[in-house]
Structures are given as C-alpha cells and as structure tokens.
Amino acid sequence: MSRKPSSIRRVEHAEAGDLPGWVVVEGRPTMQTAVQHTSEDGKVMSGTWRASPGTYHATYTDYEFVHMIAGRIIITPDGGEPVEVGPGDAFVVEADFKGTWKILEPVTKHFVVVVG
C-alpha cells in the first residue's frame, strides 16, 4: 500500500488539553489526545494518548480499552485498591469509573472508547 487511508491520523496531530471529567489533583500533568479513527455512527473511537507525570481524578462516562505503550500509572478507584500498569499491559476502564490516575513516568497508550 503506497498511501495510508484518509481515516488514519498520525500522533503528531494530537490535541493538547485535559479531557472532560479529568481534574488535576497533584503536580502539573499535561495530556495530548490523537483520535485516529471514529466509526461512522460515532460510537467507537480509537487513538493515542500521551500524558506527563502528575495526578488526575478521572470520571468516566464511556467504556475504554487501553494498551500501554510506555510509562507507568497507578490507577486507584475511589474507595478501591491501587493497580500499577506499565508498558505492554492491557486493561479496561468501565463507564462508571471514578478515581485517580497517578502518572509516574511519561505515558503513551493506545485506546478504544465505546461511547455509551
């Protein structure tokens, strides 16, 4: 294939800015999100997310599948036990998740979000 399909975007075109439902609670983390594909009905999105060290409190409204490429995060659900994830790990975040994402090392992750 000599050309990439027009629906594929490079990570270099990521948009900076905190996602809705994400509030900084420690440090000065920043994030960039590159949505690289959206289904025709808008219910499934996938792409790449990058973030710098610090802590966010996140409130999810949609289901997310994550594959960690680089970095380390400690994810702690409100009232729950912390879980550390790093390169190569894959996990899901349920649509009703509320808790902290403590970013220990700069993160790059691939994601698939299913809009609920």
Give the chain's count of helices (H) and strands (E). Answer: 0, 9
Q: State the pLDDT at residue 76.
A: 98
Q: Which amino acid is residue 105, in one-letter code?
A: E
> What pTM did the predictor assign?
0.84
Q: State the pLDDT at residue 18.
A: 82
All structural domains of the chain with their residue ranges: 16-114
What are the tens digits of pLDDT across the range 53-103? 999 999 999 999 999 999 999 999 999 999 999 999 999 999 999 999 999
Mean pLDDT, the chain, whole residue set: 90
CATH number of 16-114: 2.60.120.10
- The answer to whether residue 8 scores a pLDDT higher than 80 is no
DSSP code of 27?
S
